[in-house]
Amino acid sequence: MVFEQLAGNLIQGLVLGAVYGMATMGLSLIFGVLKVVNVGHGAFIMVGAFVTLALFDGLGLSPLLAIPAAFGVGLALGLFFYYTAIQRLIKAPELATLLATFSIGILLEEVIKLVFGSEFRGYNWEVGKIDLGITVLPMSKLYACIGSVVIAVLLYLWFNRTRAGSAMRSVVEDSEGARVCGVNVGAAYAWSFALGIGLTVASGVLLTMFIPVGINPYMGGAYTLKAFVIAVLGGLASPYGAFFGGLVFGLIENGSYTLFALLPGVEPFALTRFLSFMILLVILLIRPTGLLRGK
């Protein structure tokens, strides 16, 4: 009985984990290329959720069509914040970019609150479900999972098969060397930041399929923490590492929830959140370069 439940929850965790992974790729991409930690990460996810809501409620568009729209919104936001703030701070002490991205996150939350209000809002995208015997999986979650995998593969192809992708990778390896070889490092920075934000906002669309209680402007904080745990699992600077980190985290989260629920007198949901924080601390302590990568 318990094992059946555990197996069912682990399948759910794998599906959720793929989306978690995709939602963290932008964070890792930005850190890898610019060495900037986007502390406002969760706020960008929240923007994606509201793009979905606006398109679904306003125009009746399917959340799947909201993915490219959210990606476009993210690219625009990324370029805007890069040229107004981040560009001037790359050479400054780390404190500056940390506080700047933190403030950008607050700004986004407040703007969305101004437009949509701060109540929880939800929408219902009913596309049926499939019964796997041990667990029932809504199709919307399955679509989100497939979408995440497709986006991750596209990103991989883009990095490895296109000139712009190679240019970005060269900047990660050695920005001076890239400059010498004729790579426009400034543009690579700007587009990496925009791409990272685009991916993050797009992931907000996929994540909303997992939020039964609805979305609100302050939902991002929890995802910022999860994204950092995942990114650190995957080595912080590698988008693919982040994707696999997401899968691992999804399994840990759902698996530990099932096990905590067996303990009497505790609140399992809160304990899983505490556990993810402890994982973060332990990994940072023993291996800040990430568990899934060699040194």
Site for another protein, rule CB under 8 A = 31, 35, 37, 39, 84-85, 88-89, 92-96, 98-100, 102-104, 106-107, 109-111, 113-114, 221-222, 224-225, 228-229, 232, 260, 265-274, 276-278, 280-281, 284-285, 288
Beta-bridged to residue 129, according to DSSP, are 138
In angstroms, rounded to a whole number, what is the distance separating the alpha carbons of residues 266 and 28? Answer: 34
Shortest distance (Å) from residue 36 CB to another protein: 8
Query: Closer CB to another protein, residue 102 or residue 143?
Result: 102
Query: Closer CB to another protein, residue 110 or residue 125?
Result: 110
Shortest distance (Å) from residue 182 CB to another protein: 30
Query: Closer CB to another protein, residue 74 or residue 109?
Result: 109
Contacts (Cβ under 8 Å, ≥6 apart) of 180:
none
In angstroms, rounded to a whole number, what is the distance separating the alpha carbons of residues 156 and 82? Answer: 23
CA within 13 Å, CB half, 27: 36
Query: Closer CB to another protein, residue 144 or residue 190?
Result: 190
Shortest distance (Å) from residue 140 CB to another protein: 27
Shortest distance (Å) from residue 88 CB to another protein: 5
Query: Closer CB to another protein, residue 15 or residue 280?
Result: 280
Decide: helix, strand or coil at residue 122: coil
Give me the DSSP letters along 215-262: B-TTTHHHHHHHHHHHHHHTTSS-HHHHHHHHHHHHHHHHHHHHHHTT
In angstroms, rounded to a whole number, what is the distance separating the alpha carbons of residues 26 and 239? Answer: 7
The 8-class DSSP code of residue 215 comes to B
Query: Closer CB to another protein, residue 136 or residue 281?
Result: 281
Shortest distance (Å) from residue 157 CB to another protein: 29
The number of angstroms, rounded, from the C-alpha of 128 to the middle of its chain's C-alpha atoms is: 26
Contact 67, 140 (CB under 8 A): no
Shortest distance (Å) from residue 173 CB to another protein: 19
